[in-house]
Amino acid sequence: MPESVPVRCPDCRREHLYAAPSYPCVCGAPVVPPLDRLANPAPVTHRTWDEDWVTVRCGTCGREDQWPQPELGCECGTVLRIPVRVVRRPLHAERVPGTTIEADPESETDRHTSGTSTPDTPPGTEASRNGPAPGTRGFPDHIPLPRTAPTPRAPFQPVTIRTARDAVTAAALYLRWLGYRDIRRADQRPPSGIGLAARGVLAQVDPTVRPASLRDIECLWLTAMTESAGCVYFSLAGYADEARIRADTLGVPLFVLDLTGTPQPVNSPADELIAAGP
Question: pLDDT digit string (tens) for 178-190?
Answer: 999 888 888 778 8
Q: Within the chain, where are the H helices? A: 49-52, 105-114, 126-130, 164-178, 214-226, 241-250, 268-276
Contact call for residues 18 and 72 (beta carbons, < 8 A): yes
pLDDT recorded at residue 94: 42
| Pairing label, strands 71-73, 23-24 | unpaired
Residue of higher predicted confidence among 94 and 260: 260
- Going by the DSSP 8-state scheme, the letter that residue 252 receives in this structure is -
pLDDT recorded at residue 216: 93
7-11, 26-30, 134-138: segment of lowest average pLDDT? 134-138
Q: What is the CATH number of domain 164-276?
A: 3.40.1350
| Pairing label, strands 71-73, 15-19 | unpaired
What burial letters (b/e) apply to 68-88, b meaning 16+ CB within 10 Å? bbbbbebeeebbbbbbbeeee
Asked if residue 139 has pLDDT above 60, the reply is no
Residues of the chain above pLDDT 70, percent: 73
Q: How far apart are CA 216 and CA 192, in angstroms?
A: 7
Domain boundaries, the chain: 1-113, 164-276
pLDDT recorded at residue 64: 82
Question: pLDDT digit string (tens) for 234-267?
Answer: 999 999 999 999 999 999 999 999 888 889 999 9
Question: pLDDT digit string (tens) for 53-67?
Answer: 788 888 888 888 778
Q: How far apart are CA 104 and CA 93, in angstroms?
A: 7
